[in-house]
Amino acid sequence: MNWDIVKGNWKQFKGNVRQQWGKLTDDHLEQIAGTRTELAGKIQEAYGVTQDDAERQIKAFEGRYKDYRP
């Protein structure tokens, strides 16, 4: 998954993120703004998981959307 593409098309993509991580608020999604490291931090914060767990979740998410095209 190319996070530059995700970042550039964040408004279209954030629905997928919200579907995966429903505890993330609109404020969280605005702060993330398509940045992978921000997403990892917000997952840790919202779900109380470790950085490694957040990274594993993101990698699985990337696998599902590896062919994402805006």
Q: Which amino acid is at 66?
A: K
Q: Is the pTM of this model over 0.95?
A: no
Domains and CATH numbers, the chain: 3-64 (1.10.1470.10)
Q: Taking residues 6-30, report their average pLDDT.
A: 93
Q: Which residues of 5-15 are buried (b: 16+ CB within 10 A; e: fewer)?
A: ebeeebeebbe
Q: Are 68 and 8 a contacting pair, CB within 8 Å? A: no
The model's pLDDT over 28-66, given as tens digits with 9 standing for 90+, comes to 999 999 999 999 999 999 999 999 999 999 999 999 887
Residue closest to 25 by CA, chosen among 42, 6, 12, 50: 42
